[in-house]
Every structure is written in C-alpha cells, then in structure tokens.
Amino acid sequence: MTTPLLNVSSISKRFGGVTAIDDLSISLLAGDRLGLVGPNGAGKTAFVNCVTGFYTLSGGAIHFDGADISTLPLHKRGRLGLARTFQNIRLFKRMTVAENVACALRDYADRPFLSMLRFGGGADFVKAARDLLERVRLADKADQLAGSLPYGEARRLEIARALATRPKLLLLDEPTAGMNEQETQELLADLRRNADLIPSMIVIEHDIAFIREISTRVVAMDYGRKIAEGSADEVFSHPQVVEAYLGAGEADV
C-alpha cells in the first residue's frame, strides 16, 4: 500500500465557540485531483487554510509527503511543496505580472541573500517567468502592474505564481468564481495543458460541471464535516449532499 501524499487525520479548527472544521479526515494519493464541494460556510476554505498553514490547528494532525506538518510555519510548508491560490485574489498588486511569478521561483529559496551575488533581474529568471506566463496566456501582459489585470487574468496569474514554486500539491480555492462559461472552459483547458506542472491538486469549486471535468475524486463537506466521498456521480447523488445544497426535501417538513 502506498502512503498518501497528504494525510489529514481528524483535524478541527475552532474560533472561540464557532467550529469551522470538525473532526475532518481526508487523504490524497500522489496524482489525485480532488474536488472539494459544499455549501458556503461548509469549511472548505478553512480546510485549505489549515493544510497550507494560514490557520493553526485546534486538533488533529496533517502529514504531507511523509512529514508531520501540523505545526510547521507557512514558509516551511511552501518549501515542502504546498502552493495555493486564494478565493479573494491576493496578488502583489504593485509589482509587475512577471515579477509576481519571478519572485516565487525556487532559485535561492533557502538562501535569499545569495541572490545578491548576481546583478540584475537575471536572464534565467526572466525566461522562467515568461515561460510560466505563456503557459497561462499572460506573456503579453508581463510588464503591466498585477493590480491592473482584470479578474480572470488575475486568477490565472495567481495560478502561475503558485506553479513557479514547483508544488507537489496545488490547492485552488474557487478558481472560476466570477467567471463566465467561456472563461471557465478556458481555465479548464489551462489546467489540463499544464498538467505536467500539477502533480496533484485539490480544487474547491461550486461549479459542478467543472468539478466533474477536473477531479478524479470528490469530497463533499457541510458544517465542517465530511458528508460524502467518492466519484463525482456518487457524491452528487448522495442524499446528504443533495440536502445540503437544496435544503431538506419538502416531504420531510
């Protein structure tokens, strides 16, 4: 039996009296593309925050790539190969599009001051950043300020920035939020085209068609708990999932 890439075992996250995540266990094998669904407030983003280190756990443990990362600070989790995007886009707005990607490149990651030994932006930094920008169709905007990008492009830049860290696991938090049907299809194509840089992935999404297309496996959450797990068909026909999305059937009232 192979050990999972990510093993989240009965974690919980409480804010005062509010429980955002309640005894949640999820595991993921290398190569998995996990879709995470559930109504607003189900704890999906809190889960991503717990895994990537933005939240400290109230209980439970998280193992990633064989190491216990439960209490590791943000930057160590990033270096181990976790990268994410944000539901409310968080780009470095006053830096250029290319700089947003270039700053995240792995070179000198552990010894930032060694990069001072070289003068200039560095041709290889520029090339690596351009390559990534071409992969997400942003190469022609490379020298614009990131803050000037329209919504859809800002989302793609966030993905490129995450990919610049060469992640083992990419976590996307509602990548198609606010996108129209065409943009959603283009993003799907982007993710497929760049599959070579995305060894494993967790996607939070409300767009069920998108989840069906992208995921190998789906987990549904509600009230901070896992309520269903399996293939997309299994999960989306699960009575508890239907109830969570549509409310209790009138027959029950």
Rounded distance between C-alpha atoms, residue 168 and residue 146, angstroms: 25
Q: Give the count of residues interacting with other proteins (CB under 8 A).
A: 51
118-124-126 Cα angle (round to 5)? 100
Binder to other proteins among 142, 218, 227, 232 (CB under 8 A)? 142
| Contact between 90 and other proteins per CB under 8 A | yes
The residue range among 1-9, 72-80, 231-239, 241-249 that interacts with other proteins, by the rule CB under 8 A, is: 72-80
User: Least CB distance from residue 161 to other proteins, whole Å?
Assistant: 7
CB 24 within 8 A of CB 43: yes
Binder to other proteins among 47, 86, 210, 236 (CB under 8 A)? 86
Binder to other proteins among 4, 14, 39, 54 (CB under 8 A)? 54
Q: Which amino acid is at 14?
A: R
The residue range among 23-31, 109-117, 185-193, 206-214 that interacts with other proteins, by the rule CB under 8 A, is: 109-117
User: Least CB distance from residue 180 to other proteins, whole Å?
Assistant: 27
105-110-111 Cα angle (round to 5)? 100
| Contact between 92 and other proteins per CB under 8 A | yes
